């Protein structure tokens, strides 16, 4: 046991703890069936040609592993093959996404990036004396706080008490999980993220400040924090919410991060992590502007958007692979309730808008692709169908080799779609502003 495990709360300077430094711009990609790492990596080689260094992070949550029936070390395996084949000389990471104390074990060997999920602990009240000890330790929270480019922030002790009641226990839980990982791994061999995105209410910038002070007290060398932002971040479809409010909040959060790095000794690498970041096309210009104006880094996490490109590639190739894509839709349609259940909070499927499997059976490759591809200008684009298929990867997983073999047969059309989707629709607007 190291001293880490025995001296929690307030005595450790987070950035003085050993940690693996995370790069400025990082991008999380998910690869449900471990066949697209190369096509994904190509998007970052294209970005490098544009002069932007973006470091890939392959992420897969325990939930995805359970549904697909894969093991955590397969993610690193697939990434390493892609790195070798494309001659990628820069770093890459493997993210144990949304892990908890119960699920982290399987990821200790193969991951170098841990997204500690404490959503389940939010709202569990910390003991009253811990809340008041925390607030007594942080009188600076109640003074006027000047933030670069923002109106000054003032937090009352009453507000901070409320926030601490809601989040202090969760921050302490993050500390426990962090120390568990640190004790199991080599010194300085991993990145720590804390996620609070899978919860009911967005955190205000003031709440984020209190949360980060509490995480700093735990001595966590935190490099990314995933708050829940205002608006809806549904899987596979665009952002729904007030764009101006999002931009204001995103910029305030960046200012809070700059402030806590100075005030609490958190690593200078600390940055925001945007979860369910794929397909949120309407907020990308705001993110691009905020990064450009402040020089802040960012982590954008995506996952299922690649699996949908596999389906698009299968449909585009026609014949047997189109038939397989239709079969997957028919099965997903039949099992729509059970497939949607684990994702209920992050999808919005209008069942009335779903075409029947009989209709889909008659579709041409073009009709299938147009309904599924995330092109909002296309009249045939169907967000309900897209979201159903987004959560429908379990159907393909059950097909086993029949599905995997078809991925190999249609490698050309699939990898072309995977790369184009990441590079044109995600990387360029977020990091290049076009």
Run of H or E including 135: helix 128-137
Shortest Cβ distance from residue 118 to Zn ion (Å)?
Answer: 12
Q: What does the CA dihedral 182, 188, 191, 193 come to, rounded to 10 degrees? A: 50
Selected range binding Zn ion among 201-209, 274-282, 362-370, 405-413, rule: CB under 5 A: 274-282
Alpha helices per DSSP H over 98-204: 128-137, 157-184
Shortest Cβ distance from residue 274 to Zn ion (Å)?
Answer: 9
Answer for the pair 309, 284: CB distance below 8 angstroms, yes or no: no
Considering the complex, state which of residue 197 and residue 217 has its C-beta at the smaller distance from Zn ion.
197
Run of H or E including 82: helix 73-86
**Interactions with Zn ion, residue window 279-318 (CB under 5 A):** none
Integer CA distances (angstroms), 78 to 34, 106, 344, 402, in order:
6, 17, 30, 20
Shortest Cβ distance from residue 106 to Zn ion (Å)?
Answer: 18
Does position 64 interact with Zn ion (CB under 5 A)? The reply is no
Report the residue from 197, 309, 316, 331 that binds Zn ion according to the rule CB under 5 A: 197
Considering the complex, state which of residue 153 and residue 300 has its C-beta at the smaller distance from Zn ion.
300
Selected range binding Zn ion among 16-24, 190-198, 257-265, 425-433, rule: CB under 5 A: 190-198
Considering the complex, state which of residue 271 and residue 373 has its C-beta at the smaller distance from Zn ion.
271
Does position 193 interact with Zn ion (CB under 5 A)? The reply is no
Considering the complex, state which of residue 219 and residue 227 has its C-beta at the smaller distance from Zn ion.
227
Give the C-alpha separation, 202 to 249, whole Å.
10
Report the residue from 38, 275, 280, 426 that binds Zn ion according to the rule CB under 5 A: 275
Considering the complex, state which of residue 97 and residue 310 has its C-beta at the smaller distance from Zn ion.
97
- The site that binds Zn ion (CB under 5 A) totals a number of residues, namely 2
Backbone φ, ψ for residue 345 (5° rounding) = -75, -15
Shortest Cβ distance from residue 252 to Zn ion (Å)?
Answer: 21
User: Among all residues, whose Cβ is closest to Zn ion?
Assistant: 275
Shortest Cβ distance from residue 142 to Zn ion (Å)?
Answer: 31
Selected range binding Zn ion among 21-29, 143-151, 270-278, 364-372, rule: CB under 5 A: 270-278
Shortest Cβ distance from residue 343 to Zn ion (Å)?
Answer: 11
Residue 67: Cβ-neighbour burial (10 angstroms; 0-12, 13-18, 19+): middle
Alpha helices per DSSP H over 273-399: 284-294, 305-316, 319-334, 336-340, 357-361, 365-372, 383-390, 393-399
Does position 35 interact with Zn ion (CB under 5 A)? The reply is no
Answer for the pair 193, 20: CB distance below 8 angstroms, yes or no: no
Per-residue DSSP letter, 148: T
Shortest Cβ distance from residue 197 to Zn ion (Å)?
Answer: 5
Q: Give the sign of the dihedral formed by CA 76, CA 33, CA 180, CA 274.
A: positive
Shortest Cβ distance from residue 119 to Zn ion (Å)?
Answer: 9
Task: Using CB under 5 A, list all residues that contact Zn ion.
Answer: 197, 275
């Amino acid at each position: 046991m190291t001293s880490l495990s025995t001296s929690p709360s307030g005595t450790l300077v987070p950035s003085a703890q050993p940690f693996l430094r995370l790069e400025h711009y990082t991008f999380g990609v998910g690869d449900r069936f471990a066949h697209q790492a190369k096509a994904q990596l190509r998007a970052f080689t294209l970005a490098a040609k544009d002069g932007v260094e973006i470091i890939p992070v392959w992420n897969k949550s325990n939930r995805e592993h359970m549904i697909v029936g894969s093991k955590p070390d397969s993610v690193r395996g697939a990434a390493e093959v892609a790195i070798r084949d494309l001659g990628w000389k820069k770093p890459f990471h493997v993210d144990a996404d949304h892990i908890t104390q119960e699920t982290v074990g399987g990821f200790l060997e193969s991951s170098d990036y841990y997204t500690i999920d404490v959503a389940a602990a939010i709202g569990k009240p910390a003991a009253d004396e811990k809340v008041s000890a925390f607030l007594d330790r942080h009188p600076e929270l109640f003074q006027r706080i000047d933030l670069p480019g923002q109106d000054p922030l003032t937090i009352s002790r009453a507000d901070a008490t409320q926030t601490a009641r809601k989040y202090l226990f969760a921050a302490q839980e993050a500390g426990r999980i962090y120390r568990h990982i640190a004790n199991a791994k080599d010194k300085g061999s991993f990145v720590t993220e804390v996620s609070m995105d899978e919860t009911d209410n967005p955190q205000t910038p003031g709440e984020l400040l209190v949360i980060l002070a509490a995480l700093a007290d735990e001595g966590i060398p935190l490099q990314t924090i995933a708050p829940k932002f205002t608006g809806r971040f549904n899987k596979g479809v665009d952002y729904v919410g007030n764009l101006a409010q999002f931009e204001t909040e995103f910029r305030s959060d960046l200012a809070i991060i700059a402030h806590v790095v100075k005030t609490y000794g958190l690593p200078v690498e600390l940055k925001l992590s945007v979860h369910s970041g794929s397909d949120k096309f309407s907020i990308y210009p705001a993110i691009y502007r905020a990064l450009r104006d402040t020089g802040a880094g960012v982590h954008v996490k995506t996952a299922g958007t690649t699996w949908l490109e596999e389906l698009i590639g299968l449909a585009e190739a026609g014949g047997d692979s189109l038939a397989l894509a239709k079969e997957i839709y028919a099965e997903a349609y039949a099992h729509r309730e059970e497939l949607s259940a684990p994702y209920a909070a992050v999808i919005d499927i209008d069942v009335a808008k779903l075409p029947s499997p009989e209709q889909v059976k008659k579709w041409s490759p073009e009709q299938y692709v147009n309904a599924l591809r995330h092109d909002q200008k296309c009249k045939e684009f169907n967000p309900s169908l897209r979201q159903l298929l987004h959560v429908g990867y379990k159907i393909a997983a059950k097909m086993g080799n029949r599905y995997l073999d078809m991925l190999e047969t249609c490698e050309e059309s699939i990898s072309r779609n995977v790369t184009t989707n990441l590079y044109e629709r995600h990387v360029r607007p977020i990091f290049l502003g076009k």
